[in-house]
A and B are shown apart, each in its own frame.
Chain A
Amino acid sequence: DTGVSQDPRHKITKRGQNVTFRCDPISEHNRLYWYRQTLGQGPEFLTYFQNEAQLEKSRLLSDRFSAERPKGSFSTLEIQRTEQGDSAMYLCASSLIGTTGELFFGEGSRLTVL
C-alpha cells in the first residue's frame, strides 16, 4: 500500500500525559500537512512541511504542540500535557509540488483525552 499511513489509529490518554502521532506520507510527496478535525467541523490546519522544513504553523497551535519531519519523509506530531480540548481526529495529508495540489489523507489518528 503506497498511500498515507498514520499511527496509532486510536489513542486514549489521561489529561496531562504526552502523546505522539506518526505519519508516513506517499513516498515521493514533498509537502506534508497536519490538520485537526472535531465533530461537525472541517479539517483545521495545524502545520505543514516542505521536505524537512516546517514552513508554517497555525497561530492557534499552542506551544504544547510540536511537529517534526527530520529527514523529509515521515513526520511526528507530539502533544504535551494533553487537555480534554485536544480530543479530536488528527489528520495527516501529503501532496506533490507542481501538481494540482490535491491532498492525499491518511485515515487519521483519533485522540481521546479523559
Chain B
Amino acid sequence: RKEVEQDPGPFNVPEGATVAFNCTYSNSASQSFFWYRQDCRKEPKLLMSVYSSGNEDGRFTAQLNRASQYISLLIRDSKLSDSATYLCVVNGGGSYIPTFGRGTSLIVHP
C-alpha cells in the first residue's frame, strides 16, 4: 500500500462547479498535512496547510479526518485558472520527509 494515495483523475468540471478531492495516508502517526498545487511543467507550490479543525481560504476548504486517515480539499465556484494538479502531502510520524501523493488532475472548462 502506498503511503499517500490519491485518485489521479482527471476531474473535468464546468466553471462554477464544486469539486472535492480526497487523499488517504497510511501512517497513523503523521502530523502535518498539506495541499500543493502544480501547474503543467512547473514546480509544486503550497496551496494550504490542513489543520485538525479544518480550514478555509476563500473558495478552498481543507479537512482532516484522523480516524479514517484521510484529508480532503473542496473547491467551490471553480475557475478556469484552477486547472492544475493538486498534490496531497503528509509529513511526520517519526520522519521529516514530506511524502507526496501522485496528484489529482483538475480540468475546469468553460
Closest Cβ of chain A: how far from B8's Cβ, in Å? 7
Taken residue by residue from 38 to 65, chain B's Cβ proximity to chain A (1 for < 8 Å, 0 otherwise) reads as: 0000111110010000000000000000
CA of A91 to CA of B8 in the docked complex: distance in angstroms?
A: 21
User: What class of interface size applies to chain B in its complex with A?
Assistant: 20 to 34
Does A100 contact B32, Cβ atoms closer than 8 Å? yes
How many A-B pairs fall under 8 Å by CB? 53
| Pair B43/A91 contact, Cβ less than 8 Å | yes
Contacts of A25 in B (CB 8 A): none
> Contacts of A55 on B, CB cut-off 8 Å?
96
Interface range on chain A (Cβ under 8 Å from partner): 20 to 34
Q: Does the CB pair A42–B42 fall under 8 Å?
A: no
B99 at the interface (CB under 8 A from A): yes
**Is A85 part of the binding interface, using a Cβ–Cβ cutoff of 8 Å?**
no
Partner of B32, one of A41, A91, A101: A101
A108 surroundings in chain B (CB, below 8 A): 43
| Residue in A33, A40, A42, A101 whose beta carbon sits within 8 Å of that of B87 in the complex | A42
A53 to B15, CA, bound (A): 48
Q: B102 and A41: CB pair below 8 A?
A: yes
**Cβ distance A25 to chain B, nearest Cβ, rounded Å:** 13
Binding site for A on B (CB under 8 A): 4, 6, 8, 32, 34, 36, 42-46, 49, 87, 89, 91, 95-103
Interchain residue pairs with CB less than 8 A apart (5):
A42-B102, A48-B97, A56-B97, A103-B36, A103-B98
